[in-house]
Structure 1
Amino acid sequence: MVYETGNQTVDDAVRRVLDGETLDRTDGLALIAQPADALAAGADLVRREFSDGTVDACSIVNAKAGDCAEDCGFCAQSAHFDTGIDTYGFLGPEKVLEAAKRAEADGAQRFGIVVAEKGVSKEHRPDEWNEIVEAIRLVRDETDIEVDASLGLLTREEADELASEGLNHYNHNIETSRRYFPEVVGTHDFDDRLKTLRRAKNAGMDLCAGVILGMGESPTDRVDAAIELQGIGISSLPINILNPVAGTPMGDRDHAAISKPEVLKTIAVYRLLHPESRVRLTGGREVNLAPDEQHLPFEAGADGILTGDYLTTEGQDPGDDIEIMERAGLEPNRAVNEFDPEAVKAKHRDTDPDTAVGTATSNATTELDD
């Protein structure tokens, strides 16, 4: 295929990706220095060649909120910071299932059970572990959506058990580059996260692992994070944009420390570095991109979305998300969960029901993947 953006660096990279070559760190650094419009055009072509023309939607539930002993500087759920969020223990299998059924009705293809802590420990908290496993079984058996989880650090035994229960994806974000990680987290290190990702993959689960943009990292850090994920091998790459939460070390500003063009450039570079992964736009998009700008990431290589609420902050209406996909010339993925997009849009337009995430209890709301 002959395709020219007019930018030689981008055009050469696109041709090499389409020829089956894997781009490296040098390529990534050269690309992220290019103009956003050329990068977006090249990444959109790569997405069209490798993807199926759909946007894959996932939803999450904040299944246990707050009092986390880790000190991740972006996170409202850390016990180190006074953020005023509601805290609660594990919701229980039935309430998790209720949230999963709402996600299914809203068109999600995957549903993530999220527990905010360093790691759900089978050894130290066996009752909680058993409830989580039961929740996985219920979602697996009583819905048509894939069941995923984000439970923190895992042992090999825990990873093997989760895989044997049918957990499809394991989410564990690396957040940023190895170099910048100590500026964000002090209570565990970068290699702890990589070990868990490898254990989940070795157990047979697909990996969902990504980043948060706008925490003060450099463009080089953004590229280095993507290269790190290349080495692990992921199927879904969530891209969060910092939504500053008052009380956290990163909460003393109105928006993320990244411009809209830099967000779009990073998404495009991530598509070129990960041509066969779902590049997924997730937390923080609503506060960093205007409503009439949210289609732009899907014209710059993105083909996945986190719909509904997040972990401690409200998200966006699933019907609105479907309209964003369509504005970008794409359609929602229905490969796992067959649903009627028009019915989802009409339901939310007419009745404004609860969305899947964080509404399993009246006071449970949601935010970024931890």
Structure 2
Amino acid sequence: MVDRTGNRTVDDAVARVIDGERLDRRDALALLAQPVEDLAPAADYVRAYYGDDTVDACSIVNAKAGNCAEDCGFCAQSVHFDTGIDNYGFLGPEEILEAAKRAERDGAQRFGIVVAEKGVSKEKRPDEWDEVIQAIRLVRDETDVEVDASLGILTEEEAEILADEGINHYNHNIETSPNYFPEVVSTHEFEDRVKTLERAKAAGMDLCAGVILGMGEAPTDRVDAALALRDIGVSSLPVNILNPVEGTPMGEDGTADISTEEIIETIAVYRLLHPEARVRLTGGREVNLDADEQHLPFEAGADGMLTGDYLTTEGQSPGDDIEVVERAGLEPNTDQNEFDPEAVKARSSDDGAAVETAAGSATSNASEPNATDD
């Protein structure tokens, strides 16, 4: 971690960020062109200056899987694609609570209730909406984790209700830049996602919104997405890397269209554009980064992760995630949920315990072949 690299472009950008200046599009594109060995330590310096030396872990539960009417080209849960995942309706509140307790046990500070559909509608599906509210209350009252939600498009009334119920962060990823978005989704528009984020923010919730890298977007799209998120005002920026799903339009090649170096460079630039946000490495990191590379983004400005299983595939063990954090010279955050990292690592080393990861399918046995975060 250094404040001077000898690279004039990088050092000038860092100095301006420390002085409170916001970098612009030209700055960001110039930074993406710099050597990763200069960018990474500079971004790490900015992370430490504005934050601390902890990595904040969140976890999710796939509370309603499959049969989504939207056609997001990366998503295993779209009804438009034959991906072979298990479909199920909304899980009971008690099942969601059990998933939250696993997340709490495994060191997550935040727990997100995720539903795969355009939006949980209070008006169209009142019974399901009531179950969502019951689940939120159970997790809020019976665990120490912060309760987050990713329920699709919201009305103003729904956003206000969720805020009143204590939802901390509302997640609604923009996925990519406004320009590239039509290449990814055709059943709704980029602005639809922005409007939901604005409603959630106006209601008093913090925003968790991010991107998926490696979908064929250009470096300019990666920058434009980060700038759009800054305009919206996110406090948590999840960075997914495409995990190609067989049966989806983006699953044909079987690999993400991005290199390890590009991943690290993008993380670093996102840190410089979002100096005070949690830049969170999430879905696809295990399949796109070798085991001995996973710590590198956390040496380049990342300070958050999603731990446990993903929406339709297994993640690595929470103990392995803690070791990744420690290898980067950081430590797990325990501000919201105090836990013993050594106990989590010891439990994860037990072959039988590795199956019961914190999130993904609430039944703890997600075994579908392919997925990515959305």
TM-score by shorter chain over 0.5: yes
Counterpart for residue 346 of structure 1: 346
Counterpart for residue 193 of structure 1: 193
1:329 is the counterpart of 2:326: no
Q: RMSD in angstroms over aligned alpha carbons?
A: 1.3
User: Within 2, Cα distance between the matches of 1:55 and 1:275?
Assistant: 15
Identity across the alignment (%)? 76
Q: How does 1:102-251 map to 2 (within 5 A)?
A: 102-251=102-251
Misfit runs of 4+, over 3 Å: 362-369
Q: Is the 8 Å Cα contact of residues 112 and 147 (structure 2) preserved in structure 1?
A: yes
User: Within 2, Cα distance between the matches of 1:2 and 1:325?
Assistant: 19
How many residues get paired? 370
Counterpart for residue 290 of structure 2: 290
SS of corresponding position for 1:136: helix
TM-score, with structure 1 as normaliser: 0.98
1:364 positional shift: 4.5
Bigger Cα displacement from structure 2, 349-358 vs 123-132: 349-358
User: Within 2, Cα distance between the matches of 1:247 and 1:147?
Assistant: 33
Bigger Cα displacement from structure 2, 24-33 vs 133-142: 24-33
Counterpart for residue 363 of structure 2: 361
Where does the alignment leave 5 or more consecutive residues of structure 1 unmatched?
Answer: none
Counterpart for residue 26 of structure 1: 26
Counterpart for residue 256 of structure 1: 256
Partner deviation per Cα, 1:103-153 (whole Å, 9 max, x = no partner)? 000000000000000011100000000000110000000000000010000
Counterpart for residue 91 of structure 1: 91
SS of corresponding position for 2:350: helix
SS of corresponding position for 2:251: coil
Q: Is the 8 Å Cα contact of residues 46 and 301 (structure 1) preserved in structure 2?
A: yes
Partner deviation per Cα, 1:143-202 (whole Å, 9 max, x = no partner)? 000000100000000000000000000000000000000000000000000000000000
User: Within 2, Cα distance between the matches of 1:302 and 1:362?
Assistant: 27
Q: Is the 8 Å Cα contact of residues 311 and 361 (structure 2) preserved in structure 1?
A: no
Question: 1:2/1:119 Cα in 2 relative to 1: closer, same or farther (>3 Å)?
Answer: closer
Q: Is the 8 Å Cα contact of residues 62 and 364 (structure 1) preserved in structure 2?
A: no
Question: 1:257/1:143 Cα in 2 relative to 1: closer, same or farther (>3 Å)?
Answer: same
Counterpart for residue 278 of structure 2: 278
Partner deviation per Cα, 1:237-264 (whole Å, 9 max, x = no partner)? 0000000000000001232000010000
Bigger Cα displacement from structure 2, 31-40 vs 145-154: 31-40
Q: Is the 8 Å Cα contact of residues 246 and 254 (structure 2) preserved in structure 1?
A: no
1:359 positional shift: 4.0
User: Within 2, Cα distance between the matches of 1:329 and 1:203?
Assistant: 37
User: Within 1, Cα distance between the matches of 2:30 and 2:138?
Assistant: 47
Counterpart for residue 81 of structure 1: 81
SS of corresponding position for 2:292: helix
1:25 positional shift: 1.3
1:30 positional shift: 1.1
SS of corresponding position for 1:291: coil
Partner deviation per Cα, 1:299-323 (whole Å, 9 max, x = no partner)? 0000000001100111110000000
Question: 1:66/1:9 Cα in 2 relative to 1: closer, same or farther (>3 Å)?
Answer: same
1:37 positional shift: 1.2
